[in-house]
Structure 1
Amino acid sequence: MNRIFLVDDHAIVRDGIRALLAQEPGLEVVGEASNGQELLDQLPTTPANVVLLDINMPVLDGLATTQRLHAEYPDIKILVLSMLNHERYIGQLFGAGAHGYILKSADKGEILIAIQTVANGKQFLCSDLGLAMLHKVLAKEEHNEPSEPTEFKKTGQLTRRETEILRLLAEGLTTSEMAEKLFTSKRTIETHRQNILEKTQTKNTAALIKLAMTQGLLD
């Protein structure tokens, strides 16, 4: 049996969650509090294994409460239930010791899954938040990704020897073949090759040759 403690400064929210969980087998709402301090005052006499916790509360807010719970009651699982959907809050709460984060707009099924997941010792992030954060990361990467010519100009020009090695790379010569052709060691060739990759900020030979062609460095 999972013993649930509800912590939210709005009684109507607590009433709604209590009603939502009332008919669920294996769940029992054992206590309620309007802020973190009330929770901590009651826990010694009202043991629970999962706390559903809001963030914005008077006296002791969700972040401070999570920190206290993590330090004083490490066995209690903390599921944050909030309307705040910014990744800064999510990161702070997980960093403080929360086991899950779910929006109040989530449906009953997902809330029940979240409770069971954290009760089993696993982390949970609701699907809407996960997808929103993924889209934001992808959009940011796409927006910030510089065009290849701009990236190369920012890193500076290649030396004469580096340009020569670049052209031999484009011709398909191996490190050994380039070393023999340029009368130098394979280690020197590899050093030049690594310098070229760093200067052009490319990850491999294929990307390097593509960039070099856009810059007019190859015929």
Structure 2
Amino acid sequence: MYMLRVLVADDHPMFRQGVLSVLESAEGIEVVGEAVSGEEAVRLALELRPNVVLMDIRMPGLNGIEATARIKSQYSDIQILVLTMFKDDASVITAMKAGARGYILKDADSKDIVDAIRSVASGKAIFSGDVASRMIEFATRPISRFDHFPDLTYREKEVLSLMAEGLSNSEISRALELSTKTVSNYVGYILNKLQVTSREQAISKAKGRS
């Protein structure tokens, strides 16, 4: 019988042991290793070549998103399933940009976790229900709604859209893979072009015209 090889990366011992217990009792799944940091997750993934890495986001040292990007840059066939308590837009977007195939929350039940692992292993994308609805809403919210600001470039419209979503400069930098200095520059350009003096005024003007 074909066994799905899974690496579990999470720095919380009790939660990690709970997940291991679930996976070890699941048919067709073999836990090949466990990591407690992003660095260890990368090392073990490259060494053990699992089918799926179950990846937490917040870990000591290298975080799960950076670890995901490093693993995917080496072995694109290793699928990453993020299992975390964070469901903010920036975390979801940056995880997917890094190469994660799925994103589920730690309050998911055992069956959902096992099903999600099998889904990403088969090449499907999987999200927890509330995360999925937010991603669909985000993805389908067109940048073109800011076409009434013709002086803004496409990238400036992207930044303004994320500002209107409530993301901070650091969150926007992660979502768009830009430096925080570059994002800060874009915000400055936006304020000048919209003829406002603050971020709040820009957001208010954007929402008033969207």
Judge same fold: TM > 0.5, yes or no: yes
Q: Does 1:61 align with 2:47?
A: no
Measured in 1, the distance between the counterparts of 2:79 and 2:135 equals 24
Query: Gaps (5+ residues) in structure 1?
Result: 146-219
**Aligned 1:172-211 pairs, distance under 5 A:** none
Change (3 A) 1:44 1:69: closer
Match of 1:52 in 2: 54
Measured in 2, the distance between the counterparts of 1:52 and 1:105 equals 15
SS of residue matched to 2:5: strand
1:103 to 89, 105, 109: 105
Measured in 2, the distance between the counterparts of 1:97 and 1:24 equals 26
Shift of 1:136: 8.4
Change (3 A) 1:42 1:133: closer
SS of residue matched to 1:4: strand
Measured in 2, the distance between the counterparts of 1:64 and 1:8 equals 14
Cα RMSD of the aligned pairs, angstroms, is: 2.3
SS of residue matched to 1:51: strand
Change (3 A) 1:46 1:137: closer
**Cα-to-partner distance string for 1:102-130 (whole Å, 9 max, x where unaligned):** 00001112111111110001111111322
Q: Does 1:75 align with 2:69?
A: no
SS of residue matched to 1:81: strand
Change (3 A) 1:64 1:136: closer
Change (3 A) 1:27 1:56: same
SS of residue matched to 1:60: coil
Q: Does 1:86 align with 2:93?
A: no
SS of residue matched to 1:43: helix
Change (3 A) 1:93 1:127: same
1:37 to 36, 39, 56: 39
Equivalent residue letter for 1:62: G
Task: Say which one has the larger Rg.
Answer: 1
Measured in 2, the distance between the counterparts of 1:101 and 1:128 equals 11
Contact in 1 for aligned 2:45/2:71 (Cα 8 Å):
no
SS of residue matched to 1:24: coil
Q: Which has the higher contact order (CA 8 A, sep 6+)?
A: 2
Shift of 1:12: 1.1
SS of residue matched to 2:117: helix
Runs of 4+ with deviation above 3 angstroms: 131-138
Shift of 1:99: 0.3
SS of residue matched to 1:88: helix
Measured in 2, the distance between the counterparts of 1:44 and 1:103 equals 25
SS of residue matched to 2:76: coil
**Cα-to-partner distance string for 1:34-93 (whole Å, 9 max, x where unaligned):** 012112222344231100000001111011101101101211000000000111110110
